[in-house]
Amino acid sequence: MNFAPLPSVGAASVPADGLVLDVREDNEWAAGHVDGALHVPMSDFIARFGDVTEAVAEGRRAYVMCRVGGRSAQVTQYLVQQGIDAVNVEGGMLAWEAAGRSMVTADGSPAFVL
């Protein structure tokens, strides 16, 4: 079988108004996440696939992110197979934090990558 390379970008290349799709679990999300990101945990992904298709309905690209890039790579591959414009964010939230990109928490406490 011949697989196309997985589309991916570095954390510093994600546009400020880009649609970030965070597939980490609830406890990881609570510790710190990208402001405005769509949170659909990988464990709930198929059940909540409609939330994702709705978010990308206008042809928006989804920037898929997890902690280091493994789970998001799987989700990105699935989305691309469904004909959705999706890219994996290389290095995930750890790379996002290392690039100095901002993170938030729901309660206003200091954000960190769990």
Find, among 57, 60, 50, 62, the residue nearest to 21 by Cα.
Answer: 62
Degrees (nearest 5) of the Cα angle 63, 9, 35?
40
Q: Which residue has the tokens 């414009």?
A: 85
- Known catalytic membership, residue 66: yes
DSSP helix/strand/coil, 82: coil
How many CB atoms are located within 10 Å of the residue 1 CB?
Answer: 2
The catalytic residue among 14, 34, 62, 66 is 66
How far is it, in rounded angstroms, from Cα 24 to Cα 15? 20
How far is it, in rounded angstroms, from Cα 109 to Cα 114? 14
Catalytic residues: 66
